[in-house]
Amino acid sequence: MFQLLVSKSQSMKNDVLSGLTVSLALVPEAVAFAFVAGVEPLVGLYAAFMVGLITAAIGGRPGMISGATGALAVVMVSLVAQHGVEYLFATVVLMGIFQVLAGVFRLGKFIRLVPHPVMLGFVNGLAIVIFLAQMKQFQFSDESGQLQWLQGNEMGMMLGLVALTMAIIHFLPKFTRAIPSPLAAILVVTVLVISLNLDTRTVQDALINLTGDAQATIAGGLPAFSIPSVPFTLETFYIILPYAIILAAIGLIESLLTLTLIDEVTETRGRGNKECMGQGVANVVTGFFGGMGGCAMIGQSMININAGGRGRASGISAALFLLTFILVGSSLIEIIPVAALVGVMFIVVIATFEWASLRLWGKVPKADLLVVLTVTVVTVMTDLAIAVVVGVIMSALMFAWKHAKHVEFETWSEDEGKTKVYLSHGPLFFASAQSFRDNFTPKSDPDDVIIDFKGSRVMDHSGIEAIDAVAERYLAAGKSLHLRHLNQECIDLLEKAGSLVEVNLIEDPHYKIADDRLA
């Protein structure tokens, strides 16, 4: 059985109430992302329900909320436009299978390779994306279909209600925590708008604006099982394969980074590999029940955490409340003022953005600041997966360049000048291989030369090739080269040097790798 609560002290009431708060914010987001992907609103809502429920129950991060996301929707739109929604469902199933395999092969641990500057850029970029996504609620479509900003009293009313929502969320916890402040804010603003008959946009108006249908609603029935209606041929597989790989990668990157962020906020530890499997199972099921698939949602996850949701019950209750809205409560949700939900998301933006990163200038290396800025901009301009990959590559290249300059040698003579010893310091890898080779002088060295790797570590094949190249130079000069304190990993791979290699096995170091159990 899964554990509903993180600890005995965890409050079921807090989890349920925070789940209700999250479910209210899930509705317009799921509908909007469905619209981006070019599918019916219920396809997004079903994904939010099923992915949210399953990942909350069996995933690796209690308190994290999953559902339909914009990062996935922008990839899906071309597939739906070219081949139809049934191909999307088949793709979501295959996407889920890839994610399950990622969990089986314990790939979740690689999220630890994401440097802190990339994480800063990720959260800052995502905060900006969430903020910009709310701007469309301050716009409307005119008769020609062009987006226009709200004007006059309508804009003033919208801004005033947003400010009231944010004020309630900020100040209410100073007086009581009996009810999550975001939920209280939504209820107060909704009651105020209805009782005073204020003219402001509601969720129903947002649905109409998104779909162009005056009868748009979130009402529907239970999702039904259905095998995607696509030809089971290699041609179909070749069509959906690239989309499934991209979606699986984006989903796992966003989910594992969100998991890491929640770990830091809550000072607990999620399980990356288990989350991979939970996301995968959720997407496989969603594909068979007419959903568009999904992954972790940082905005809704932060709403949940800030509202007191810590256990699995928060995510489960959010999904069940969402299903209740679809089945019987659509009319209640559709009267909620959009301003209340926008105010909640603005608070999320403020809580998500790492304001301390603005004070890093002069305190951290400029290279790290460049990574933070680049990841932030790429996240806003393209998508999260590309931004993270770019950030990791930048960090890796900067690391390699920095450490390539750390290769140094000490030299001395032994046996009355008959033997020369080179003591290497620093890592030997692709970036430092040339510097390593340039330090040796076979023509002027004595007949017997020793390279001591006690202060060094051979990191990759480029390092091995560098050693072999040096050995060949000494062989060509008719001199003997011995290698001392070489790690076993390099000994096994160094084949060309052959009889030139002399290794002190007694003093050779042994190296350990990261334990998969940590993930």
What DSSP line would sit under 4-44, residue for residue? SSSSTT--HHHHHHHHHHHHHHHHHHHHHHHHHHTS-HHHH
User: Which pLDDT does position 503 carry in this prediction?
Assistant: 44
User: Which of 403, 424, 441 is where one domain is finished?
Assistant: 403
Q: Confidence band (pLDDT; 50, 70, 90) for 493? A: low
Q: Confidence band (pLDDT; 50, 70, 90) for 492? A: low
The answer to the question of residue 223 being in a domain is: yes
Q: Confidence band (pLDDT; 50, 70, 90) for 227? A: very high
The answer to the question of residue 511 being in a domain is: no
253/373 same-domain check: no
347/369 same-domain check: no
The answer to the question of residue 5 being in a domain is: no
The answer to the question of residue 265 being in a domain is: yes
Which has more pLDDT, 431 or 51?
Answer: 51
281/255 same-domain check: yes
The answer to the question of residue 514 being in a domain is: no
How confident is the prediction for the chain on average, in pLDDT?
85
User: Which pLDDT does position 2 carry in this prediction?
Assistant: 46
272/175 same-domain check: yes
CA distance 62 to 12: 13
Q: Is 358 exposed, middle or buried (0-12, 13-18, 19+ CB in 10 A)?
A: exposed
User: Which are the contacts of 213, defined by CB distance < 8 A and separation ≥ 6?
Assistant: 207
346/365 same-domain check: no
User: Which are the contacts of 153, defined by CB distance < 8 A and separation ≥ 6?
Assistant: 199
- pLDDT 10s digits, 269-313: 889 899 999 999 999 999 999 999 999 988 889 889 988 888 999
Domains in the chain: how many in total? 3
Report percent pLDDT > 70 for the chain: 91
User: Which of 313, 331, 352 is where one domain is finished?
Assistant: 352
373/481 same-domain check: no
Q: Confidence band (pLDDT; 50, 70, 90) for 516? A: very low
Q: Phi and psi (nearest 5°) for 178?
A: -65, -25
Q: Provide the domain limits for residue 251.
A: 12-138+158-352
Coil, strand, or helix at residue 455?
strand
User: Which of 329, 352, 375 is where one domain is finished?
Assistant: 352
378/465 same-domain check: no
User: Which pLDDT does position 6 carry in this prediction?
Assistant: 47
306/449 same-domain check: no
362/433 same-domain check: no
Residue 65 has pLDDT above 90, yes or no: yes
299/211 same-domain check: yes
CATH number of the domain encompassing residue 484: 3.30.750.24
The answer to the question of residue 505 being in a domain is: no
295/193 same-domain check: yes
393/446 same-domain check: no
